[in-house]
């Protein structure tokens, strides 16, 4: 069964109109609703709790499993060792807000407009650059996270995609 594009467009606009005047968990929930109705199922499904957020992915160059930490404990990539905790830590490089594009720019703009500085700051790291502590190679964090974890998109996004590869 295919989603009705007109219904999704209406739901997206209604969800987007409800973004104003909220922050914190309420804003994140409404952002996720808006992203889902726009067809961005991956971005709608991930947690954006930048007080203590952890993502897991494999280095795109050497395949080492990395933990990405964005929150009160730091902003870094690391190899998570069962006995020693996070080892081979490498600081994340945030994107400058004015350099964000596509979905990153939109979500950051909503967070900044709503005054949610924790969310806005965390998004600059999520859409910034990470490096592997094992091989030293760098990569665009959001792009690689999406590639590794994104399910097939069941519907065509109504919000245009942008090319973030550079």
Query: Any idea which residue has 């973004």 for tokens?
Result: 19
Pairing of strands 138-140, 129-131: antiparallel
Closest CA to 115 of 28, 47, 22, 15: 22
pLDDT tens by residue, the chain, 166 residues? 566 777 767 766 776 777 787 888 888 888 888 888 888 888 888 889 898 889 999 999 999 999 999 999 999 999 998 899 899 999 999 999 999 999 999 999 999 998 999 999 999 999 999 999 999 999 999 999 988 877 554 445 555 444 333 3
List the chain domain ranges: 5-149
How high is the pLDDT of residue 35? 87
Q: What is the DSSP string of the chain?
A: ----HHHHHHHHHHHHHT-TT--HHHHHHHHHHHHHHHT-HHHHHS---TTEEEEEEE-TTT--EEEEEEETTEEEEEEEETTTEEEEEEE-BPPPGGG--HHHHHHHHHHHHTT-HHHHHHHHHHTSEEE-TTT--EEEHHHHHHHHHPPPPSS--SSPP-----
């Amino acid at each position: 069964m295919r989603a009705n594009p007109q219904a999704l467009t209406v739901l997206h606009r209604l969800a987007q109109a409800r973004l104003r005047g909220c922050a914190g968990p309420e804003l994140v929930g409404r952002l996720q609703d808006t992203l889902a109705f726009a067809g961005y199922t991956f971005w709608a499904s991930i947690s954006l709790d930048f007080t203590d957020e952890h993502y897991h992915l494999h280095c795109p160059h050497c395949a080492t499993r990395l933990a990405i930490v964005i929150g009160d404990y730091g902003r870094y990539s690391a190899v998570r060792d069962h006995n020693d905790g996070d080892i081979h830590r490498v600081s994340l490089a945030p994107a400058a807000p004015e350099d964000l594009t596509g979905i990153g720019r939109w979500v950051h703009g909503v967070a900044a407009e709503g005054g949610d500085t924790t969310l806005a700051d965390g998004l600059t790291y999520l859409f910034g650059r990470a490096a592997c502590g094992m091989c030293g190679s760098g990569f665009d964090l959001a792009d690689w996270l999406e590639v590794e974890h994104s399910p097939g998109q069941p519907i065509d996004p109504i919000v245009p995609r942008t090319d973030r590869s550079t």
